[in-house]
């Protein structure tokens, strides 16, 4: 049985194509019809590098409380310290340890330990700082996550995929800012008003602030920024005209633990 | 003596042991009881048929749809076979921005073959129409003995539903 030259070259060529690119190579030559697709929403907010400025001069305790309440409401963050009913009341010490915090306030000495800047005005040392995940440029939590449940998006947001979290808590050990909380128990009963637009979490996963990635995708500013009366500024660090850059140009800002090299992207005007 | 021989030498006959089951009656009775016991579930359900699941489409939102619009985002047969893969794709697209097999591109809007756009969301899109989780989701899942862990975090009532309430 013979094979002519043309037949041989044809078969050799096709098998090389299969060997090099597998099935995909053939689909490249004859692209199949795409039945359905997912496209980004038109009004989604996009940036090269999201960053936040916290204007501590403008932020009073009431505004901070409002920011915390707004965030914890739209993200279904449970409240173990003040549970919705008496039956769920926990031992205060346990409740304190179980606390889930996306955004919270803390005293200067806890937020800037080791003296970020020597001899700051005394009023600064008495401030309550609004703290949240710093969405570091060099996030240690991402490096230690064994399942890539925590990962960094192209726009800088340190994102969490709860579906992948196995609850090993390496990220909590890795984060130098205490921005991550572990769900020691089922959080659902401890959520006062279940917000239907966002999922809750399960027992055994770690959670934190995500710079409201789900709201940005729908064209909305983060929940805390919306209710902060201008005390929180959020925007694109790579856009010279953005409000964040404007504030960074105008004011002297400090960041939390810059000496650790995580390059946090939440700036504080003091 | 019936000796036998192999390459290692000459050996005497193997000892003659009577081939007999000791305590024959007890052993057999025990075996029978054992077999009956472990097959009880089979006997109990013998002849019974488990009704195939009949997912119900009787929800307020679906009933409100006009006949022309009364369809899922993808054809029923396709959904029956691929809804789990589609949900995983949605999830990866929305959370991880990764391109996947069934659906392509990225973001959170799902474009059906007929060009209609939907929000890629289990709670806000699927559950908006199929608000009867027990009759629609759980029935088949129980029948097929699959335990999806969606509901540990995702809520059964969608945003729009709750607003309507």
Using a CB–CB cut-off of 8 Å, the residues of B that contact A are 73-74, 89-91, 93-97, 102-113, 120, 123-124, 149, 152-155, 157-159, 161-163
Please give the pLDDT value at position A31: 45
- Give me A230's structure tokens: 């201008």
Whether A121 and A94 have beta carbons less than 8 Å apart is answered as no
Task: Judge whether B108 and A40 are in contact, CB under 8 Å.
Answer: yes
Half-sphere exposure of B21 (CA within 13 A, CB side): 6
Q: A189-206 pLDDT, tens per residue?
A: 999 988 888 899 999 999
Mutate to test the interface with B, among A37, A210, A218 (most CBs of B within 10 A): A37
Subunit contact B162:A196, Cβ cutoff 8 A:
yes
Q: What separation in angstroms does the CA of A236 have from each of A36, A136, B21, B151?
A: 32, 14, 86, 35
Within 10 A of A86 (CB to CB), how many other CB atoms are there?
Answer: 6
Higher pLDDT, A119 or A57: A57
For A146, half-sphere exposure in the C-beta direction (CA atoms, 13 angstrom radius) is 5
Does the structure show a pLDDT above 90 at A180?
yes
Task: Mark out chain A residues that contact chain B at CB-CB < 8 A.
Answer: 34-41, 44, 151, 153-154, 159, 161-163, 194, 196-197, 199-202, 217-218
User: Rounded mean pLDDT of chain A?
Assistant: 89
Distances (CA, A) of B115 to A210, A259, B85, B110: 32, 52, 20, 9
Residues 6+ apart with CB under 8 A from B123: A196, A199, B154, B155, B156, B157, B158, B159
pLDDT band for position B73 (50/70/90)?
confident
Strand pairing partners for A234? A52
Distance CA B97, CA A195 (A): 24
How much is the mean pLDDT over chain B?
81
Beta-ladder partners of A130 = A105
Q: β-strand A50-55 against A266-269: which pairing, if any?
A: parallel
pLDDT tens digits, one per residue of A2-32 = 788 888 999 998 888 888 876 665 555 554 4
Between A214 and A182, name the one with better pLDDT.
A182
Q: Which of B74, B106, B162 minimises the CB distance to A38?
A: B106
ipTM value for the complex: 0.74
Banded model confidence at residue B2, pLDDT cuts 50, 70, 90: low
Secondary structure (3-state) at A98: helix
pLDDT tens sequence across A226-244: 999 999 999 999 999 999 9
**CB spacing of B93 vs A34 below 8 angstroms:** no
pLDDT of residue B162: 44
Subunit contact B110:A200, Cβ cutoff 8 A: no
Encode pLDDT of B117-165 as tens digits.
Answer: 788 888 888 888 888 888 889 989 988 889 998 999 998 875 554 444 3
Distance from CA of B132 to the nearest CA of A (A): 16
Euclidean distance between CA atoms A188 and A205, whole angstroms: 13
**Average pLDDT of the segment spanning A75-85:** 92
Element (H, E) at B81: helix B76-91
Q: Where do we find the tokens 């042991």?
A: B17
Question: Pick from B90, B106, B154: which is nearest to A199 by CB?
Answer: B154
């Amino acid at each position: 049985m013979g094979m002519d030259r043309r037949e041989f070259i044809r078969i050799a060529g096709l098998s090389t194509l299969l060997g090099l690119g597998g099935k995909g190579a053939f689909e490249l030559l004859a692209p199949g019809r795409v039945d359905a697709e997912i496209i980004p929403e038109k009004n989604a907010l996009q940036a090269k590098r999201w960053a936040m400025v916290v204007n501590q001069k403008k932020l009073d305790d009431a505004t901070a409380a409002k920011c915390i309440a707004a965030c914890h409401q739209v993200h279904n963050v449970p409240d173990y310290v003040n549970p919705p009913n008496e039956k769920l009341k926990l031992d205060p010490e346990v409740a304190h340890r179980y606390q889930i915090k996306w955004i919270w306030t803390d005293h200067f000495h806890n937020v800037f330990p080791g003296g970020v800047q020597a001899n700051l005005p005394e009023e600064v040392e008495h401030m309550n700082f609004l703290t949240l995940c710093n969405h570091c440029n060099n996030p240690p939590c991402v490096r230690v996550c064994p399942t890539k449940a925590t990962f960094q998006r192209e726009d800088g947001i340190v994102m969490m995929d709860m579906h992948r979290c196995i609850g090993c808590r390496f990220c909590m050990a890795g984060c130098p800012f205490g921005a991550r909380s572990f769900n020691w128990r089922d959080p659902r009963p401890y959520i006062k008003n279940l917000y239907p637009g966002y999922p809750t979490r399960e027992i055994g996963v770690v959670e934190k602030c995500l710079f409201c990635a789900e709201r940005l995708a729908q064209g909305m500013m983060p929940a805390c920024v919306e209710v902060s009366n201008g005390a929180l500024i959020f925007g694109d660090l790579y856009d010279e005209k953005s409000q964040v850059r404007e504030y960074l140009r105008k004011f002297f800002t400090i960041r939390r633990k810059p000496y650790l090299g995580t390059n946090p992207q939440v700036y504080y005007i003091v | 003596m019936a000796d036998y021989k192999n390459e290692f030498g000459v050996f005497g006959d193997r000892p003659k042991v009577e081939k007999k089951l000791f305590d024959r009656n007890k052993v057999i009775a025990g075996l029978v009881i054992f077999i009956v016991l472990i097959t009880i579930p089979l006997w109990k359900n013998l002849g019974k048929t488990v009704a195939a699941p009949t997912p119900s489409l009787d929800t307020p939102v679906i009933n409100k749809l006009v006949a022309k619009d009364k369809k899922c985002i993808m054809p029923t047969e396709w959904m029956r076979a691929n809804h789990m893969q589609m949900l995983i794709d949605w999830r990866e697209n929305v959370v991880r921005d990764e391109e996947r097999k069934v659906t392509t591109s990225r973001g959170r809007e799902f474009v059906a073959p007929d060009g209609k756009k939907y929000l890629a969301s289990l709670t806000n899109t699927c559950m908006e129409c199929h608000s009867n989780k027990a009759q629609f989701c759980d029935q088949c899942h129980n029948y097929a003995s699959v335990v999806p862990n969606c509901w540990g975090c995702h809520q059964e009532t969608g945003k729009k539903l709750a607003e309507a309430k």
